[in-house]
Structure 1
Amino acid sequence: MKYNLLGNSGLKVSNLAIGTMNYGKGDPAQPLFSLGVKEAKRNIDLCIDEGINFIDTSDGYAKGTSEEILGEAIKGKREKLIIASKVWNPMGDGPNDLGLSRYHIISACEASLKRLQTDRIDVYLAHKWDGMTPIEEIAEAFDNLVRTGKVRYIGCSNFSGWHLMKALAAADKANRQRFIVQQIHYSLQAREAENELIPIGISEKIGTMVWSPLAGGLLTGKFRRGESGPSGSRHFERKWKNPPIYDEEKLYDIIDVIIEIAEQREIPPSQVSLAWLLSRPTVTTLIVGGRNEEQFKQNIPASDLELTEEELNKLNEVSRPNLLYPYWHQQFMGKERFSEADLGLHKWHSGY
C-alpha cells in the first residue's frame, strides 16, 4: 500500500480509501444503503490488514446511518484510521438544518461526532457549495472547529474552481485554516475536473480525493459493448444517473482500451482504471466502495500498480475530452507562458 501526504499537510493517507456510501439499513427505497455493521466491520478489517488507513463518510449517507454503522464497526480500531466526513446535507425539516451556515456546520459536526463515537473528525469537508452563506462565515466556522479540536483538517467537495478560490482567499485574508483537500468526481469517463480543479490543486497545493473513480462500476469491465449490463445495474436501468453518460459510444471505446490493457496484464479491468487515476497530478487517494470482501480484494492491488507510458497514452487518447474555452484559445495563443498548473490541463491535450 502506498501513502501520500494530504495536500499541504504532514498527514499521510493511503492512496486508496474506504467508501461508506452503501452503509445503511437496507431500505428498499434506497437500495444503495444496504450494508450493516457486520458486513462493514468485515470489509474494514480486511482493508486495515491490507494497509488502508483512510475512510470516507458523510452525514448525508442514509441520513446519518452510515456514520452510526461506521462508529460501531471501528470500535477498538479508531486509532488505525483517518476518518473523513462531510457537512451540508439536510438533517431535519427546519430551515437551518442544511447548508454551510456557522449554525449548521458546528451543530452538524457535533452530531457526527456522536454518531461516529469519536472525539474528533480527522478530515471534515463541505459536501457541496452554499451560495447563500457568506464565504467568510463558512471559513470562520471551519476554522473554529479546528481550533477547538473537534476537527484536524478541512476541505471541500463538489466546489467549482471559483468557489474553491473564494474559500481559499477568505481563509488567507483572515489568517484562518485553509482547505487542504478537495473531494471531486474524476475518472476516465469524466475528466471535467482537469479544466480547473486539478490545476488549482497544483497551484494551491490542494490534495485530491476522488469519488466514484470507477464511474459507479462502469469502468470495472462488467459493462461491454453489445452486452447487457449486470442484473440490477443502476445505470442502464436508469435507476441512478450519477455520473451522467453523455456519449455512450465513447464510453465503450474507453472500456475497450481498459479491457485490452487488463487482458495483456492478466489483471481485473478495475485495477487499470484506478491506476490511471493514481498517475494524475494532485490525486492523493481514490475512494473505493464495495459490497463484499471480494470486491475490495480485486481493487486493492491497484495501489501499487504502475502503468507504462504507452498504456497511459492509450488511455489518455481514448478518453481525452474537448478543450473548453478559454483553454483552447490559451493553447493556441499563449502556451509559451504556461505554468506547471496550466500544464495540469494542457499537457494531456498537446503532449508538451
Structure 2
Amino acid sequence: MEYTQLGRSGLSVSRLVLGTMNFGPETSEEDSFAIMDKAHEHGINFFDTANRYGGHRGTGVTEQIIGRWFEQGGGRRERTVLATKLYGPMGDWPNEGLLSALNIRRAADASLRRLRTDYVDLYQMHHIDRRTPWEEIWEAFSVLRQQGKVLYFGSSNFAGWHLAQAQEAARSRHFLGLVSEQSIYNLLTRWVELEVLPAARHYGIGVIPWSPLHGGLLGGVLRKLREGGASRGASGRAASSMDQYRDAISSYEKLAAELGVDPADLGIAWLLHQEGVTAPIIGPRTPAQLEGSLRAVDITLDADTLATLDELFPPPAPNGAKPAPEAYAW
C-alpha cells in the first residue's frame, strides 16, 4: 500500500479509504469485521464513516459495528486513522443536527460512545451549514481538540468558496483549520475541477473523492449486463445517467480491456493520478470486493491514456481542462 500526507497535515494515510456506509444495511457485522481486518492486512489504515450511517437498520448502526470491532483489541484502533462526520439530524428534536455548538458537542460525544473510543482522528462536517457562523463552529471544534476528543477537522460537499471561508476564519483564530474535503468526484462528475480542487490545493486541503465509480457506472456495468449479472449502475441514481453516457461508457470499458485492467480499477486509478487527490473512498460490500479494489493503486496511466479518458469524459468547461475563472471566461 502507498501512503501520503492528509493535506498539509503530518498525518500519514493510505491512498485508499475504506468507506463503511454499507456496514449494517448491506453487509453483515461478521463480514464487516472481515473487511476491516482484511483492510489492515493490506495496509489500508484510513477508515471513513458517519454518525447517520445505518440505513434501514437505523442511524448510528455503522459506528456501533466499528466500535465493536475496535473492542476486540489487537491494535485495531491504534492502527486506524478514524474519520466520522456530523450534520444530518439524529432525531426529531431541535438541535439534533447541523453545526451549532450544542450539536457539535453532543454529536461528538455520541459518536465516541458508539465507536467505543476516546478520540476521533478526523471529524468532518457532512455539509455546509449556512445558518451557523464560522466563529461558533471553530470555537466548538477548538474545544473538542483541547479536550483531546478530535485531532483534525475536515469538510464534505463544500463549494470552493466555502473552503475559503472556513480557512480564513480558522486563520483568524490561529487554528489549523480543514485538512480534508470529501467531494463527489469521478470521470462522470468532474465539477470540483472548476473551483473546489484549486481552492483545496491552495489551502493545503486533501481531497477525498466519494462515489469514485459514479454508483457503479464506471465499474463495468455494460459488461456485467451482457453477462447477465446484477450491477449497481443499472439501478438507482446511476441508472438515470446510463442512456446519456452509454457510448462513452462502452468506449471506456473497451479501453480498460485493451489495458488489461478492470473498469473499476481504471476509474479509481484515474483519480489517484489527479493532483490534489489524497485517496478515493472505496465501499466494498464483501471481502472479495475489497481485494479487487486494491489493484488500482498499482496501475500507472501514461499521458496518452489520460488524454483518451479526457476525450471520453471531458472536463466541465468549454475551454478545456482549466480551472475557474478561465473555464468559463476568456
- Normalization by structure 1: what TM-score? 0.85
Determine if contact 2:221/2:234 at 8 Å carries over to the other structure: no
Determine if contact 1:36/1:69 at 8 Å carries over to the other structure: no
2:249 to 251, 255, 273: 255
Paired residue secondary structure (1:143) = helix
Match of 2:169 in 1: 170
Q: Quote how far apart the aligned CAs of 1:217 are.
A: 1.3
Q: Quote how far apart the aligned CAs of 1:277 are.
A: 0.4
Summarize the Cα distance change of 1:177–1:123 in structure 2 as closer, same or farther, 3 Å threshold. Answer: same
Q: Quote how far apart the aligned CAs of 1:252 are.
A: 2.4
Q: Quote how far apart the aligned CAs of 1:228 are.
A: 9.6
Summarize the Cα distance change of 1:71–1:318 in structure 2 as closer, same or farther, 3 Å threshold. Answer: same
Q: Quote how far apart the aligned CAs of 1:257 are.
A: 3.5
Determine if contact 2:191/2:316 at 8 Å carries over to the other structure: no
Match of 2:279 in 1: 285
The amino acid that maps onto 2:283 is G
Q: Say yes or no: does 1:72 pair with 2:71.
A: no
Q: Quote how far apart the aligned CAs of 1:132 are.
A: 1.0
| Whole-Å separation in 2 of the counterparts to 1:279 and 1:327 | 17
Match of 2:210 in 1: 211
CA deviation map 1:43-99 (0-9, x unaligned): 111111111111000001121100001111233211111110001111111110000
Match of 1:22 in 2: 22
1:306 to 300, 305, 310: 300
Q: Quote how far apart the aligned CAs of 1:327 are.
A: 6.2
Q: Quote how far apart the aligned CAs of 1:135 are.
A: 1.7
Q: Quote how far apart the aligned CAs of 1:261 are.
A: 2.8
1:42-57 correspondence to structure 2 within 5 Å: 42-57=34-49
| Whole-Å separation in 2 of the counterparts to 1:261 and 1:297 | 22
Match of 1:220 in 2: 219
Summarize the Cα distance change of 1:245–1:138 in structure 2 as closer, same or farther, 3 Å threshold. Answer: farther
Q: Say yes or no: does 1:13 pair with 2:8.
A: no
Determine if contact 2:14/2:45 at 8 Å carries over to the other structure: yes
CA deviation map 1:275-319 (0-9, x unaligned): 000000110011101111111111101112111111111111211
| Whole-Å separation in 2 of the counterparts to 1:91 and 1:226 | 38
Q: Quote how far apart the aligned CAs of 1:104 are.
A: 0.4
Determine if contact 2:195/2:323 at 8 Å carries over to the other structure: no
Q: Quote how far apart the aligned CAs of 1:333 are.
A: 6.9
CA deviation map 1:143-187 (0-9, x unaligned): 221222101110100011111211111111122230011011000
Q: Quote how far apart the aligned CAs of 1:203 are.
A: 0.9
Q: Paired residues, what number?
A: 321
Paired residue secondary structure (1:79) = coil
Q: Quote how far apart the aligned CAs of 1:234 are.
A: 5.2
Q: Quote how far apart the aligned CAs of 1:259 are.
A: 1.7
Paired residue secondary structure (2:60) = helix
Using the aligned pairs only, state the percent identity: 37
Stretch moving more, 138-147 or 305-314: 138-147
| Whole-Å separation in 2 of the counterparts to 1:327 and 1:193 | 9
| Whole-Å separation in 1 of the counterparts to 2:208 and 2:325 | 30
Summarize the Cα distance change of 1:214–1:65 in structure 2 as closer, same or farther, 3 Å threshold. Answer: same
The amino acid that maps onto 1:9 is S
| Whole-Å separation in 2 of the counterparts to 1:108 and 1:173 | 25
The amino acid that maps onto 2:304 is E
1:93-132 correspondence to structure 2 within 5 Å: 93-132=92-131
Determine if contact 2:194/2:324 at 8 Å carries over to the other structure: no
Match of 2:32 in 1: 40
Summarize the Cα distance change of 1:136–1:259 in structure 2 as closer, same or farther, 3 Å threshold. Answer: same
Summarize the Cα distance change of 1:278–1:114 in structure 2 as closer, same or farther, 3 Å threshold. Answer: same
| Whole-Å separation in 2 of the counterparts to 1:268 and 1:247 | 19
The amino acid that maps onto 1:36 is S
Match of 2:52 in 1: 60
Summarize the Cα distance change of 1:193–1:245 in structure 2 as closer, same or farther, 3 Å threshold. Answer: farther
Summarize the Cα distance change of 1:247–1:269 in structure 2 as closer, same or farther, 3 Å threshold. Answer: closer
Paired residue secondary structure (1:45) = helix
Summarize the Cα distance change of 1:229–1:155 in structure 2 as closer, same or farther, 3 Å threshold. Answer: farther
Determine if contact 1:2/1:304 at 8 Å carries over to the other structure: no
Determine if contact 1:67/1:116 at 8 Å carries over to the other structure: yes
| Whole-Å separation in 2 of the counterparts to 1:327 and 1:287 | 24
Summarize the Cα distance change of 1:229–1:323 in structure 2 as closer, same or farther, 3 Å threshold. Answer: farther
The amino acid that maps onto 1:109 is A
CA deviation map 1:85-123 (0-9, x unaligned): 001111111110000001001110110001000111001
Summarize the Cα distance change of 1:329–1:124 in structure 2 as closer, same or farther, 3 Å threshold. Answer: closer
